[in-house]
Structure 1
């Protein structure tokens, strides 16, 4: 019990705490109308720039896709042209023309042959 008495005495000896100041109310940060308009216009501008950026990227993607389709079509046409050129070379060979002429009953008369140079 002795301890309890000492604790009470110690508590009584402590000076009273000075009264704490009144808690101040936080001031709310208020924006003026001009500041609000400025912030809204900046946000709208940022949104507009973002939309324009995305739309330009979409256009670039579509153009690249079209370019690749055209390149594929060009490659296919080149292959077809090359195949047709080879076929023309085979069909226009002298031996084949002579064979077709004989099948159709034509004969080679060397007096009427004219040589044409390219």
Structure 2
């Protein structure tokens, strides 16, 4: 019986406390650890950081595009240099004295050593 009496006594003690705690609550002011000015400065600073990050990324993207264009142009230049060198080799092969003399003979020209004149500078 003593346990039952204690249970009833505990329930009786808790009920009035619940009523008082539910009925009257003293209002506590929520004090933020940041003032409104600090919040504005924080938002402003965050916006500046985000803007700077976007600017850096866009600058890197444009640099990447320019570098890609430079690499493409350099590749084209190297290919054109190879073509030019090949053409120079063909010119040098086709302009040899023996070849010119052979072509002249095919066209009916004859070498007359008495008719050769030396030109001096």
For the residues of structure 2 that align with 1:106 and 1:74, how far apart are their CA atoms?
A: 43
Structure 1: distance between partners of 2:7 and 2:39: 55
Runs (5+) with no aligned partner, structure 2: none
Over 6 Å off, 4+ runs: none
Query: How many Å separate the matches in 2 of 1:84 and 1:43?
Result: 62
1:84 paired to 2:87 = yes
Equivalent residues in 2 for 1:42-57 (5 A)?
42-57=45-60
CA change 1:93–1:25 in 2 (3 A) is farther
| Partner Cα distance (1:37, 1:10) in 2 | 58
TM norm structure 1: 0.72
- Taking a change above 3 Å as real, the CA distance of residues 9 and 32 of structure 1, as seen in their structure-2 partners, is closer
TM-score, length basis structure 2: 0.71
Q: Give a deviation string over 1:18-66, Cα, whole Å, max 9, x none.
A: x489566562638544223212211220121111111111121111111
Offset, 1:110: 2.5
Structure 1: 5+ residue runs without aligned partners? none
Counterpart position of 1:62: 65
Relative to total residues, which structure has the larger helix share, 1 or 2? 2
Does 2:119 match 1:107? no
- After superposition, the CA RMSD in angstroms is 3.2
Aligned position for 1:40: 43
